[in-house]
A = this chain, B = another copy of it.
Amino acid sequence: MNTGKRLAHRPVDQAKQDAILASARDEFFEYGFESASIERIAAAANVSKVTIYNHFQNKENLFSAMVGSECRIMRGNLPEMSDEEMPLRTELVNFAQAMMEFLSSPDIIRFDRRMAAEVERHPELGELFLNAGPRLMQKMLIEMLSCEMEKGKLAKANPQEAAAHLFGSVKGFADVEWRFSDPEKAAASVTTASLEAAIDRFLLAYST
């Protein structure tokens, strides 16, 4: 029975699919959904326009597939928490550092900028993005702080709120600058010193 597999055919070229999604990302992020050109995407991917329409039926589908793919990639690049035992301050500083590096990377900033605009027309993609990125990071942070509160290293408090305070005070005004100014320039504004200052204030506010 061949387990339902089709019997005689030319297989899909996976490399082409990946190339299409990559080109789609560049095109959509460069021009936005409305003005992105499928013909340019096809050209950039070295693929016939018909091939694109065979796999994704229309622009909407291609866009959704691209966002899904990018979210999957982003998920894999999220900063992780190390399992090693280390002083609380060190742990927080490390996490904050990784977080800020992640959030200030050009790819993420571009994604953030473009998605914000497209969400108005594609609300479901906003949820997809939130779940693949920000909310995951939020959960990690809550988990981590909750754990430390259990251990008595932080004052008992609503871990959800504590996570918001930590996340927010580490970011400060930086994310706004990232989004609306030249990322290169804005990235320089986040120093190790300012990052440690935020952590220290947080520890002060949540000392036992």
Contacts and interface: CB of A to CB of B under 8 A. Distances in A.
Contacts of A173: 134, 138, 163-164, 167-168
A176 B114 CA distance: 14
Nearest to A119: B180
Interface in A89-118: 110, 112-118
A120 interface: yes
A72 interface: no
A117 B116 contact: yes
A120 B116 contact: no
Contacts of A187: none
Taken together, the copies of this chain in the complex come to: 2
Interface in A122-174: 123, 126-127, 129-130, 134, 138, 158, 161, 163-174
A181 to B, nearest CB: 6
B117 A114 contact: yes
Interface stretch (A13-21, A29-37, A46-54): A29-37
A138 to B, nearest CB: 6
Given A35-B32, A197-B158, A180 B134 contact: yes
A126 B181 contact: yes
11 contacts: A32-B117, A113-B117, A114-B120, A119-B179, A126-B181, A129-B180, A134-B176, A134-B180, A161-B201, A165-B201, A168-B173
Given A35-B35, A164-B173, A168-B173, 12 more contacts: A32-B35, A32-B117, A34-B34, A110-B120, A116-B179, A127-B180, A129-B180, A163-B173, A167-B168, A168-B198, A169-B169, A205-B205
